[in-house]
Amino acid sequence: MQLAELNVGRLIAPTDDPRVADFMNNLDRINGLGKRMPGFVWMMEGTSGAGNTEAKINGDDQFVPNLSVWRDATSLETFVFKTLHTKFMERRAEWFEVLGSMHFVMWWVPDGHQPSLEEALAKLAHLQEHGASAEAFGWDYLRENMHPPA
């Protein structure tokens, strides 16, 4: 089993607005770093070369989903919290609205599975409705249960 994750943000402005330019100008850099990390397996990508800013959630162009798969929890945790990614995560309030509900979810997938955005959004909805479980979870649950179910 491998670890899938979805992180959804809503930009404070359209992708071509100067207020989000620093984020947009570094998106490929940070995604490229993730792709070179040990344990990286797969990432949902668009065709424009700027991450996956083309994916629409509820028809809204300002939602930016990040969907990826990792070999294990440690690999994802290292990328998120121990690389340049952390510096950009610390600046998220400059570029993203504060969402009123959960916007991050993880779940285990069979090796080689590339989840669709629809599948990932269903996992996020499950987490929002039922709380953390083996089906869909956040960092706290993951840290208590680092290994995929048998």
**pLDDT tens by residue, 105-144:** 999 999 999 999 999 999 999 999 999 999 999 999 998 8
Whether 50 has a pLDDT exceeding 70, the answer reads no
**Close Cβ partners of 105 (under 8 Å, ≥ 6 residues apart):** 5, 6, 120, 123, 124, 126, 127, 136, 137, 138
List the beta strands (DSSP E) in the chain: 2-10, 40-43, 63-70, 104-109
Q: Domain limits of the chain?
A: 2-144
The 8-class DSSP code of residue 13 comes to S
Q: What is the pLDDT of residues 56-80, one digit of tens each?
A: 677 778 888 999 999 999 999 999 9
> What CATH number labels 2-144?
3.30.70.100
Check pLDDT > 90 for residue 46.
Answer: no
Task: Check: CB of residue 54 under 8 Å from CB of residue 2.
Answer: no
Among residues 141, 136, 142, the alpha carbon closest in space to that of 103 is found at 136
- More confident site: 135 or 27: 135
Best CA proximity match to 72, nearest among 120, 109, 46, 117: 109
DSSP category for residue 57: B
